[in-house]
Amino acid sequence: MSGRTCRLEAGYTVIIAEKPKAGEKIARALGLPVKCSYNGVPYWVLSVNGRRVVVVSSAGHLFEPHTDTRGFPVFEFTWRPIWEVDPKAGYLKKFYDVLRHVVPRASEFISACDYDIEGSVICYKIIEALGDPRRARRMKFSTLAPEDIRRAYARLQPLDVDMVEAGLARHELDWLWGINVSRALMHALRLYTGRRITLSAGRVQSPTLVEATRRWEEINLHVPRPSISVHVTVKTKDGVRFKVYPSGWSPRDRLEAEEVRRRLRSLGELRVVSVSEERERVSPPPAFNLGDLQHEAARIYGFSPMKTQKLAEDLYLEALISYPRTNSQKLPPTIDYRSILRSLEGVEGYSSLVRRLLEETGGVLRPVQGRAEDPAHPAIYPTGEKPRELSRDHRLVYDLIVRRFLAAFSSEAVIGRVKVALIDRDGRGFEASGLTVVKEGWMKYYPFLKPTENVIPRISEKSVEIESVTIRVTWSKPSTRITRDSLLKWMENVEIGTESTRARIIETLYRRGYIEQEGRVTDLGHTVTRIIVELFPELSTPELTREFERKLDDIRYGRRSRESVRLEAIRALERLLSNYNRRLEEVGYRLAVALNIRPPERPCRVCGREAITTLGNVRLCEYHSKALERLRDALGEISRILNISRQEALKRIALKKGGTGRWVLEVAKKALEEPELKLLLDV
Q: What is the pLDDT of residues 130-183, one digit of tens each?
A: 999 999 999 999 999 999 999 999 999 999 998 899 999 999 999 999 999 999
Cβ of 351: how many Cβ atoms within 10 Å?
Answer: 12
**Looking at this protein, which amino acid is placed at residue 96?**
Y
In the chain, where does the domain assigned CATH 2.70.20.10 lie?
226-278+413-440+451-475
Euclidean distance between CA atoms 539 and 185, whole angstroms: 14
In the chain, where does the domain assigned CATH 3.40.50.140 lie?
3-159
CATH topology classification for 3-159 = Rossmann fold (3.40.50)
Is the bond leading into 73 cis (omega within 30 degrees of zero)? Answer: yes
- The answer to whether 610 and 595 are in contact (CB under 8 A) is no
- Alpha helix positions (H), 131-204: 146-154, 161-193
Coil/strand/helix, residue 455: coil
Q: Which CATH class is domain 168-221+482-594?
A: mainly alpha
Euclidean distance between CA atoms 53 and 612, whole angstroms: 68
Q: Supply the CATH classification number for the domain 226-278+413-440+451-475.
A: 2.70.20.10
**Looking at this protein, which amino acid is placed at residue 349?**
G
Length of the chain: 683
pLDDT at position 653? 95
Q: Which CATH class is domain 290-407?
A: mainly alpha
Q: How far lies 519's CA from each of 461, 607, 621, in Å?
A: 52, 20, 22
153-162 confidence digits (pLDDT tens): 999 999 999 8
pLDDT at 562 over 50: yes
What DSSP character marks residue 283?
P
pLDDT at 489 over 70: yes
pLDDT at position 299? 96
* DSSP-derived pairing of the beta strands 226-235 and 413-423: unpaired
Average pLDDT over residues 378-383: 96
pLDDT at position 376? 85
Confidence of residue 4 (pLDDT cuts 50, 70, 90): low
314-369 confidence digits (pLDDT tens): 999 999 999 999 999 999 999 999 999 999 999 999 999 999 999 999 989 999 99
In the chain, where does the domain assigned CATH 1.10.290.10 lie?
290-407
Euclidean distance between CA atoms 61 and 392, whole angstroms: 29
Helix, strand, coil shares of the chain, percent, nearest 5, are: 50, 20, 35
How far the first Cα of the chain sits from its last, in Å, is: 87
In the chain, where does the domain assigned CATH 1.10.460.10 lie?
168-221+482-594
Q: What is the DSSP track for 363-407?
A: T-------S---SS-----B--PPP-S--HHHHHHHHHHHHHHHH
pLDDT at 379 over 50: yes
225-246 confidence digits (pLDDT tens): 999 999 999 999 989 999 999 9
Q: CA 78, 82, 88: angle at the middle one, nearest 5?
A: 140
291-317 confidence digits (pLDDT tens): 999 999 999 999 999 999 999 999 999
663-674 confidence digits (pLDDT tens): 999 999 999 999
pLDDT above 70 coverage of the chain, percent: 99
Euclidean distance between CA atoms 347 and 386, whole angstroms: 6
The pair phi, psi for residue 203, each rounded to 5°, is: -60, -30
Name the residue with higher pLDDT: 4 or 23: 23
- The answer to whether 283 and 337 are in contact (CB under 8 A) is no
Q: What is the model's pTM?
A: 0.91
pLDDT at 214 over 70: yes
Average pLDDT over residues 548-567: 88
Counts of helices then strands in the chain (DSSP H, E)? 24, 17
- The reply to whether 124 belongs to the active site is no
Mean pLDDT of all residues in the chain? 94
Average pLDDT over residues 269-285: 96
pLDDT at position 102? 97
Euclidean distance between CA atoms 586 and 191, whole angstroms: 11
pLDDT at position 2? 47
Average pLDDT over residues 75-103: 94
pLDDT at position 449? 97
Instruction: Choose the catalytic residue: 43, 124, 153, 323.
Output: 323
